Structures are given as C-alpha cells and as structure tokens.
Amino acid sequence: MRIRVLGSAAGGGFPQWNCACPNCSAVRAGSSRFSPRTQDSIAVGSDEGSWVLLNASPDVLHQIERAPALQPREGRKTPIRGIVLTNGDLDHCLGLLMLRESTPLVLYATKTVYQGLWEQNVFFRTLERFQGHVRFVPLEIGSRVSVFDGVSIEPFALAGKVPKHLEGRAAASPEDNVGLIVRDDRSRATAVYAGAAAMTIGLEAALNGASALFFDGTFWSSDELIRLGLGTSRAEDMAHLPIGGEGGSLAALGALSGVRKVFTHVNNTNPILDSESPERGAVERAGWEVATDGMELVL
Amino acid sequence: MRIRVLGSAAGGGFPQWNCACPNCSAVRAGSSRFSPRTQDSIAVGSDEGSWVLLNASPDVLHQIERAPALQPREGRKTPIRGIVLTNGDLDHCLGLLMLRESTPLVLYATKTVYQGLWEQNVFFRTLERFQGHVRFVPLEIGSRVSVFDGVSIEPFALAGKVPKHLEGRAAASPEDNVGLIVRDDRSRATAVYAGAAAMTIGLEAALNGASALFFDGTFWSSDELIRLGLGTSRAEDMAHLPIGGEGGSLAALGALSGVRKVFTHVNNTNPILDSESPERGAVERAGWEVATDGMELVL
C-alpha cells in the first residue's frame, strides 16, 4: 500500500491565519528552515488506484490538487473511494462538506462521531443529495473493515476529548477518538495512525508488528502555549502528549525499534518545525521523522 | 478603498476535486489559457490596514496566505476586522469555521442567514469560546452599516434560493441572498458585489453611480451542465443568470457604461475560463473583465 501525508499540521495549519509567532513569521518570509504545512490528513492507496482519506481536513481540496493520484482521470470518476474519520474535530471533518459535488462516497466513523456530525449540523444534508450519496459504515473498536484491494482498517480507542463544539453536550465515550491500524493483506505491512492522541494501552497493542507509526506531534512541551502567551491550557488539558520532557512521547516510545516513526499533526508553535532547532535534533537522534506535506511511504 | 478578489470561482473551485472536464483537465495540465481559481470571496480594505471579507469561502486560509495585507504583523493581531455574508451557502460560510482560533471578529449577515447557521449547526459553538468572540451585527436590506475607516456596506435583495442544506426546512425570504453596495465616504467610490445572483430591480438601483460591479459569472449558458452531462438543472433553476444568450447578463447589462464590470463566481464548466474561447472574446468585447484570484482595484 501507499501512504501519502496530505497534511502534517495541527488545527489551523502552518502558518496559522491569525498568528505572527516566530515560526509563522519565518515560514511566511520563506525561511529555508521551515516548510508550510496543511492540516492533518493521510491518504492510503493501492497500486490499482483506489484511495481512502484518513480524515478530511479543511484543506482537503488543496491537498487533492497537489496529489495527482487523487485526481479524476476522466469525467467525474474520483479515485477517492471513502473517508475515515478518527474523531469529530473540525480540523478532521470540515473537508467532508467540500467533497459534496454528487460523487458517491463511503464514510467510516464510529457511531458517536457520525451522530455528532449528522444529528447536530444541518450542513450534512448537502451530502444527502441522492440515495447512496454517502454510505455510512460504522467503525467499532477492535473490528476490522476492508476499505479496498486487500487493505483494511481497525480502530482502537485513544485518550482524548469531545470536540470543542460538543463540550457540555455529549458524554465522553471511548468512541470519541480512535487510532487506526491500517493493514495490507498482500504486503502484510501495517501502519498505525494516531495523529492526535495521548498514550494508551490500545496504542501499545496496535504497534505490535507495525512497520510505520504516525504519532501526535502537536506540542514539544506541556506549557508551550502558556509560555508563548497564546493560551492557558497545557498540552495534556487538550489531550495531547508532548514530545519532550520526562513523560513525553520520545521517552515513552523510546524502546520502539524496527518501525518508521513519524510525528505529524504538528502545531504552529512547535520548535520541531525549525529544521535547525535543538528539539528537531533531539527528535531525529531518537530515530523519529517529522512529517511534511507530500511525504510518501510504500509499505 | 482597496478591493482584492480572494477567490473568483463558484462552489467547488477551479479545478474541482472530482472533475476531469476539459477545463479542469487543462488547468491541471498547466495550460497557459487557464488560471486556477479558489472559491468566491472579496476583501475590502483601507490604507490604514483594516479589512473585511465579503464571504468566508472554504479556501479562506489559503486566500489569506496569498495576501500579505491580510496577515498579522505581530502576535495574534489580524488586520481582518470582520466578515460579511451574502447568503448561507456552504461555499460562502464554511470558512468562518476556519477562523476560529480565538480572534474576536464581527459578523455581518441578515438574521435569516445567521439563524440558518447558528441555530442549525452545533459547529458554530467553536466561535463562542469567550464573551465577544464573534459579535453579530444584523444586516437589514436598505440599511447602511459602517465597517471601518469611512467604509460602509448596504445590502439589497437578490433573487436566489435557500441553501441546499436548508431546502424544505426554511421558507424563502428576501434576506436569503443579498448583494452589497460598498461605499467609501472619503473617495466617494461605490462598488457593487452581486456574486451569485439573478437580475433584480434592487440591482439596477444599486448600480446607480457605482464605479465597479462584481457580477455572477457562474454559467455561460442556461443548459451548460445538461450539455456536459454533469447535471439536470438549468442555470436559472439554481438562481443564476447565464452570461450569454438573449436574456443573459451581457444583454441585460449591455447599456451599463462608466463602470468597471467584472464577472466572478465562475463555474469550472464555463467557457469564459479559457482565455482564447469565443465566449471570453464576446465578454471582453462587451467591456467586461473576468475576475482572477489576486486581482486588485483601488477605488
């Protein structure tokens, strides 16, 4: 299977529209130490030309236009067969509403995530233009679902929160945030996508035998937003495990070997975005890569 | 005042993600006869550096990153003071949800449009993170509202439809679709924005004394989608006045002189997108321009 990183930034992207922090200013100025990044999404495809998107970011139209494999060859025949949602956050779901031009799609999500979208937002009626416009396939934790050509996905529960817009309206559920195990039955390769996540027992089990891991690289430090004067929440308050520090992901996943380890969903404030920062150096010395838009893996 | 075309395509943009029609294929192949276009939106600004967006398209983040004047200079101080909505269509409103990173904004819309968003979609709670996050200023047809530095807007009713996702749920109202008269009290210039519209008496009155008109350029012909096998609706069924033909806008607005006349909101199927087409020639001979992304006017 082929894996293409469509977007490698956290919600808001990099640079972020309302931000002139040192990172955002440097990337706007064209510094060679920084690359612009769109919002978190990954495409999984086969040599036969079938693709599914893992999350539909607000940048999805631009992501498709930068990826010839995702563009239609004739008429209105898209190679995109379906979309898998890992949670109901706006930066993972808004793109669905941009894929509304009457192409039938399959949507994979937990019932909790699906209901938070369809039952709470009249916008989604735009994806009900005809019978079968969007076919919903419920994801159940621990159950494998085939998406195309021998490739399957299996969700596992991740620690997380309900989306900001559902706070106070919905009880927390293990179905709110899932990671995905993506398996190719032909190559026998497995990739794990846990783009916005804290560590969980489910993740450790999912990593067993995996060839690649895409992991939450939102923040370097727990108090990153607080120190920059951009917020009052710690990384953990937003259900993100920071990369650095004693309890961070570099330490927690230090023993993991034989796996391609990639940080993605990187926030605009994260010092690992600077290719010459000490933090980027630490990440690379520990055997990790930092995802960039357009990065491709064949597994 | 300064007017910058942020996006000049109809909903879906150009090229459109699921389309390989001759226009979309040619622009993807890099043909010099075609320019890519993002979805319809216009920014109005002052020399002092205040801006409002007329509509917030799904491409708004990319549109801001291509327009240095719309980017913050320090901290999180955006020069974007507010957003004006002309209807509740997804291609005019989805961008609002991408401008959610805790910057206070003023939203100008009719009550009908506002209610169709806020009361029907829980997503908009993301714009209620703190008291005063989004301040709603109701637009009333025929009433002028100051937006900044001597610049005001006045809505007028346009023929139109309720958004697709509200069909069957809301009665038609003159507040569903408005055009905007944008006045600069200092330069005494007036621009009229009627990006997705049929002709109305309101439009004729609005054009009195205007220096520039941005008008609906969605379709060249009434049966454009039908002939291409891409749909069953005529332009008029979708509340668009075609450009060509006996009752088209070229004929209807033929007598208009002394005004800069610009077609925008151009659909991916429209032959005027091809700089060498006979239809583009006809438009230009009649004194019209076809908007491109990034086009700027100083009025």
B20/A58 Cβ within 8 A: no
Alpha-carbon distance A277 to A221, whole Å? 14
Which contacts of A236-243 are long-range, i.e. CB under 8 A and separated by 24 or more positions? A236/A198, A238/A161, A239/A159, A239/A160, A239/A161, A239/A177, A239/A196, A239/A197, A239/A198, A240/A196, A240/A197, A240/A198, A240/A216, A241/A197, A241/A198, A241/A199, A241/A216, A242/A218, A243/A217, A243/A219, A243/A270, A243/A272, A243/A279, A243/A283
Q: Which residues of A touch B102 (CB under 8 A)?
A: 231
Alpha-carbon distance A89 to A39, whole Å? 12
pLDDT for the residue numbered B238: 83
* Interface with chain A: mutation pick from B51, B89, B123, B129, highest number of A CBs within 10 Å: B123
B169 touches A: beta carbon within 8 Å: yes
pLDDT for the residue numbered B45: 97
C-alpha angle A160-A164-A167 in degrees, rounded to nearest 5? 85
3-state helix, strand, coil in chain A (%, to 5): 25, 25, 50
Longest dimension (CA), chain A: 54
Asked whether the predicted pLDDT for residue B196 surpasses 80, the reply is no
B294 with B3: CB under 8 angstroms? no
B277 touches A: beta carbon within 8 Å: no
pLDDT for the residue numbered A199: 64
C-alpha angle A25-A296-A293 in degrees, rounded to nearest 5? 15
Mean pLDDT, chain B, integer: 93
C-alpha angle A101-A107-A111 in degrees, rounded to nearest 5? 135
CA dihedral A262, A265, A268, A271 (to 10 degrees): -30
String of DSSP letters for A78-119: -SEEEEE-SS--HHHHGGGGGS-SS--EEEEE-HHHHHHHHT
How many angstroms away from the CA of A133 is the closest CA of chain B?
A: 14
User: Scanning every residue of chain B, which has its alpha carbon at the shortest distance from the alpha carbon of A128?
Assistant: B165
pLDDT for the residue numbered A196: 59
| pLDDT digit string (tens) for chain A, length 299 residues | 999 999 999 999 999 999 999 999 999 999 999 999 999 999 999 989 999 999 999 999 999 999 999 999 888 889 999 999 999 999 999 999 999 988 999 999 999 999 999 999 999 999 999 999 999 999 999 999 999 989 999 999 988 889 999 998 888 899 999 999 999 999 999 999 997 566 666 788 788 889 999 999 999 999 998 888 888 888 888 888 899 999 899 998 888 888 999 999 999 999 999 999 999 999 999 999 999 999 999 99
Would you tell me how many other CB atoms lie within 10 Å of the CB of residue A164?
18
A94/B98 Cβ within 8 A: yes
* Pairing mode, strands A190-194 and A212-216: parallel
- Give how far Cα A126 sits from Cα of A81, A250, B121, B163, Å: 18, 43, 13, 9
Q: Which of A20, A58, A103 sits opposite B72 (nearest CB)?
A: A20
pLDDT in tens, B179-191: 999 999 999 999 9
A62/B62 Cβ within 8 A: yes
User: Scanning every residue of chain B, which has its alpha carbon at the shortest distance from the alpha carbon of A29?
Assistant: B68
pLDDT band at B21 (very low <50, low <70, confident <90, very high): very high
pLDDT in tens, B51-80: 999 999 999 999 999 999 999 988 888 999
Q: Which of A6, A113, A117 is nearest to A53 (CA)?
A: A6
B48 touches A: beta carbon within 8 Å: no
pLDDT for the residue numbered A256: 86
Q: Which residues of A touch B99 (CB under 8 A)?
A: 17-18
Q: Which residues of B touch A124 (CB under 8 A)?
A: 165
Alpha helices by DSSP H, A41-89:
60-65
A122/B100 Cβ within 8 A: no
A166/B65 Cβ within 8 A: no
How many angstroms away from the CA of B54 is the closest CA of chain A?
A: 17
Residue type, A269: T
User: Scanning every residue of chain B, which has its alpha carbon at the shortest distance from the alpha carbon of A66?
Assistant: B28
ipTM over 0.90: yes
B58/A62 Cβ within 8 A: no
How many cross-chain Cβ pairs, A to B, lie less than 8 Å apart?
147
How many angstroms away from the CA of B74 is the closest CA of chain A?
A: 5
How many angstroms away from the CA of B86 is the closest CA of chain A?
A: 17
Q: What percent of chain B has pLDDT over 70?
A: 98
